[in-house]
Structure 1
Amino acid sequence: SSSKYKVKRTMDHYYCTCPAWRNQSAHPVSARTCKHLRSLLGDAYEEARLKLKNPNGPAATATKSTSKGRNGSIPSAKKKAPEVLLAVKWDEESTDPTGWWVSEKLDGVRTLWAPKGGEGREGAMLSRLGNPFMVPKDWMDKLPKDVTLDGELFGGRGEFQSTVGIVKTMGSKGWKNITFQIFDVPSMGNEPFEDRLQWLQENFSEGGKYHSKEFVVVDQTCAESKDHVFDMLKEVEAHGGEGLMLRKPGSKYEGRRSSTLLKIKTFFDAEAEVTGYVPGKGKHTGSTGALKCKMASGKTFAVGSGLSDKQRARPPKVGTIIVYRFQELTKDGVPRFPTFVGEAADKTVAKDAEVPASRKV
């Protein structure tokens, strides 16, 4: 055709600017191919590379005879999103937290371990949309084959963006810094939360059947009072944590948003779509000063705080959904003093935060 596309290699990742390669966004970069890469590298090389990079994924078994869509792209299998328990915000006026279980709200990537991951996989760690993360095979070999686990892939406080990059890359050296923080067992969902927690502690603690340094059961503390919860919140935030989670005692696991799981944060997190860039000034001259963003409400704002020099040099592309953090909204519904957190994992549509009237100034 008259179109021209650019092929690039960065370490062991191959890229192409053609629509066929870009339309495989359901797969990680390391598990995509197209006719241009096949033409340059050869079918045999591509089959071996894809199998190595994503041994359990659909792209690994794609061959030249695979049914393809327009532009030569390989259609993605329709995924069913896992039914996971989602939290609602804590209303301190209506819910007394005394006796509830309290844990830190981790700044990681929500993950469901599915022993039968679908699409021919024997086991997979899935995102909320059902996309597999590029977890090392030895991790999956160590995990139980008869229960599902709910948790987060966690790289440490304040490491959300780097964690997203690592979990989407097969073979990344960064996996040594990631842990699977486990907080529930959905397949045992009809049993009280305390029984599920006991099962986790018995099986993943030292001497347990599935004990491994990569797997951590999230600590749970029984709340003594509302003041006790606020004291824990202050301590977590003082050490760079994001907030707290409250879990109702004796509760079952529900695959939906439920008032049995509450979240507490001083800061609000929201998502926005990148629409453009503000040129940098002063020390940022020649790079990006801020990202122009659009909220789900349609209101626009700019966020520059939180961007590293590397991100200013190569900012998120227009159309990318980003996560930003703020403390309050203006009366016009625009975030005050927003801070860039990172690119959203597995999101295609922005979502605004629910902010009470008391936090609008």
Structure 2
Amino acid sequence: MIYPLQTLYKRDTNGNIREWTVEYMGPVGAGIRTISGIKDGNLVTSKWKMTEGKNFGKANATTAFEQAHKEANALWDKRLEKEYFRDEANVDTYDKFKPQLAHDYTKRPQPSGISQPKLDGIRCIARKNGLFTRAGKEITTCPHIEIALKDFFAVYPNITLDGELYNHKLKANFNKITSLVRKVKPNEEELLETMDLVEYHVYDCFDSWNPDRTFLDRIGNLPNLIHHAKIVHVPTEVCDDQEALDKLYSEYTEDGFEGQMVRNDTPYDNKRSKNLLKRKEFITDEFDVVEVLEGKGNWAGYAKHFELELGDGRTFRSGVRGQQAVLKDLLEQEVKPTWVTCRYFELSPDGVPRFPVVIDWGVGVRND
């Protein structure tokens, strides 16, 4: 029996609509083949590529038929990454948008710029016709984000939003986000969980009607145009000197962000750009604990800082990263940590860690 997967479509360089279908057959005589060509023209059918089972005797063993199904789906996924669409009506809507990519800040340091926290999410390009990965693959697991942006794109079809699918509450559980977003065929329960957990954090945009707009001009009015609980506008601050950049870098890492993005106020570059820098530089070391310190105000009742001891007996104070429930338990537990792993930017001239953040702790001798 032959099983076709959904036909995909694209517009070629000559203006023709091309269609592409992959089929697999089995269970007897398992294999795959493709059927492709200009729509309503003479389609070319490839020869069957016969498949064989793999990993016999192991937990991940597959039959020849299962392998055919697996390989057909893999080919189908790759086509989606090459500007093919499920819906023929969309073939003219995706115009090879290439997102701006970052260079390493440590290799191109600059003493000022526009600062944003660096997220550890899944890059997502949002357009009037859907959501896409940085490689152009359609994201179909977040229809709630598309709905949230529908009214915006109805008025501003010229804007492409650039951001990440993310939730800062899950900053310590990146795999949860990826497992939800990258589902091939999510069921209703999984889609509901995705709707509950996954937000779209916007940090830039591109205006196809005015591609020379600079960064601050592009994003300046977005918070006034998009109001939705699942759309988060990434905090953005202008830093006039290195001290300001370093201060924000420290705050980001203490708050659990991956690092810092440093931008220049320039037009959007559809390539890896010297005007966008990613900063994720730190040193990790272990220190003995002198005291666990309670926070103030909204942080009353939670561990907020550690007093730590240097090798020469001097002490310094460090922030601590963790979920509030964990920090509440840390303050209340009778046996306090005796050691911590601390991440910091660099040592001051006096040998004290700058912008330290405790990322792990324990009692006794560390054995991992």
TM-score by length of 2: 0.48
Q: Which has the higher strand share?
A: 2
* Structure number with bigger Rg: 2
TM-score (norm. length: structure 1): 0.49
